[in-house]
Amino acid sequence: MAMLEFDDRAARHIQRVYATPDVVAQREQVLALLSARSGERILDVGSGPGYLVASLADAVGPGGVVHGLDPSAPMNALAAELTADRPWVHIDTGDALALPYPDSTFDAAVSTQVYEYVADIPAALAELRRVLRPGGRALVLDTDWDSVVWHVADRDRHQRVLAAWEEHLVHPHLPAELPGHLRRAGFTVTRREIVPLFNPTLEPNTYSAMTIETIARFVTGRRGLSAEDVDGWREDLRSRGEEDAYLFSVNRYCFLAEAV
């Protein structure tokens, strides 16, 4: 079954979702954990619309270097546009499994919401380790979709929708396995943090409100879900919002590690 495709439409949608206060707060937590320093060389694997690249560029300043790498041309176009005024940023086309950089190029690397889409995690983390200098930092953040709390009236239909949604990536439950993968790839895990996204009300400019539409589009026609089923699921959530009975949360899990 095809995963989520990062085409032009998806790239623009992700750009909007990742500008919501929920995801801005997530990036602030990531930036605080990585604590990028002036003059550092940093890589963002799967840099998407480029918000994190832009913030990293501001942290390292013009004496540093930031590379954002992504296989998606529409994502790279958004990232290049966002960072055009920072010439120490480079937006590169490439894949986490074959990083186009020499060994020991970077002081630090980040990859948020990316490895969950990559089938071969040991190979991807071996590449990450290779391009970091010894003592360099890696920060990896992914979602466990078992952590979602989302109240609905029709729980059976909701479970079918979420099961179909898990097909949008290769690893819907990667975080528990990340520390072991990092250790085997030559890292020492130094910090483990939870990054919750919490929407206690249904408001338009939130992660969950926008993700309802992403999920609805993706799951229609999968696992026997008809357009009517999916419309019903969407209406279920909307009516809970109107009745002041809405609650959504999902957890990202973040690991900071040092290259041995």
Ligand X SMILES: C[S@@+](CC[C@H](N)C(=O)[O-])C[C@H]1O[C@@H](n2cnc3c(N)ncnc32)[C@H](O)[C@@H]1O
Based on CB atoms, which residue is closest to ligand X, 51 or 101?
51
Of 39, 41, 83, which Cα lies nearest the Cα of 66? Answer: 41
Task: Tell me whether residue 143 or residue 236 sits nearer to ligand X (CB atom).
Answer: 143
Taking the complex as a whole, the smallest distance from the CB of residue 13 to ligand X amounts, in Å, to 10
Tokens standing for residue 174: 């990667």
Nearest distance, CB of residue 71 and ligand X, angstroms = 5
Question: What is the smallest separation between the CB atom of 118 and ligand X, expressed in angstroms?
Answer: 5
Tokens of 197: 């996204």
Name the residue nearer to ligand X (CB basis): 160 or 171: 171
Q: Are strands 132-143 and 65-70 parallel, antiparallel or unpaired?
A: unpaired
Q: Between 214 and 239, whose beta carbon lies closer to ligand X?
A: 214
> With respect to ligand X, which residue has the nearer C-beta, 45 or 257?
45
- Rounded distance between C-alpha atoms, residue 194 and residue 210, angstroms: 22
For residues 84 and 260, which CB has a smaller minimum distance to ligand X in the complex?
84
Cα(216)–Cα(188) distance, integer angstroms: 39
Query: Any idea what DSSP says for residue 50?
Result: S
Q: What is d(CA 117, CA 58) in angstroms, rounded to the nearest whole number?
A: 28
Q: Are 138 and 132 in contact (CB under 8 A)?
A: yes
- The distance of closest approach from Cβ of residue 196 to ligand X in the complex, given in angstroms and rounded to an integer, is 16
Residue 139 bridge partners (DSSP): 110, 256
The Cα–Cα gap between 218 and 167 comes to: 9
Binding site for ligand X (CB under 6 A): 6, 14, 18, 45-48, 51-52, 70-72, 75, 95-96, 112-114, 117-118
Cα distances (Å, whole numbers) of residue 109 to 76, 144, 215, 232, 256: 18, 21, 30, 42, 10
